[in-house]
Amino acid sequence: MNDRQALRVLFASFFRSGLRAKRTRVFILLATVPLLLTLLVRVLEPGEIDGFISNLLLSIYFQLLIPLLALFFGSSVVNEELDGKTLVYLTTVPVRRRAVLLGKFLAALLITALLVGGGFLLSFLAGALHRLGDARAWG
């Protein structure tokens, strides 16, 4: 098996297991908190939604959610294998170690990007849905 095939198989395996993990469900709930806050602000204070999106929503994502996800998934690239005692098995298969690390890293990166991008897009659409048809809003 060449490196590309091994990387593809490892990526698919780690991506599926990452999506099924309980911690991913917790982070999905954490990523929906800004969406719920946006909907709450839109219902309670409709005029304040622009300031909310530009100030609080971006702060939640860039100062809390993205670093938290990066730390968690970055540390779990190797730590899961140490805790589950499967690192020995991964290092004995005829695949380069960098392919294993790269496959796990790319799977964690894609899961993180989907969580952050999906949550941010939904939050933005919830806050700016009423202005999407307005040409002045795009300027």
DSSP 57-119: IHHIIIIIIHHHHHHHHHHHHHHHHHHTT-HHHHHHSSS-HHHHHHHHHHHHHHHHHHHHHHH
pLDDT digits 0-9 by tens, 48-100:
777 777 777 778 888 888 888 888 887 777 777 777 777 777 777 777 878 88
CA-to-CA dists, residue 136 to 45, 57, 92, 100, angstroms: 22, 22, 60, 49
Comparing CA positions, the residue from 34, 17, 4 lying closest to residue 110 is: 17
pLDDT digits 0-9 by tens, 8-17:
988 998 899 8
Contacts of residue 22, Cβ cutoff 8 Å, sequence gap at least 6: none
pTM: 0.79
Average pLDDT over residues 113-139: 77
Confidence class of residue 135 from pLDDT cuts 50, 70 and 90?
A: low
Task: Look at residue 139 and tell me whether its pLDDT is greater than 60.
Answer: no
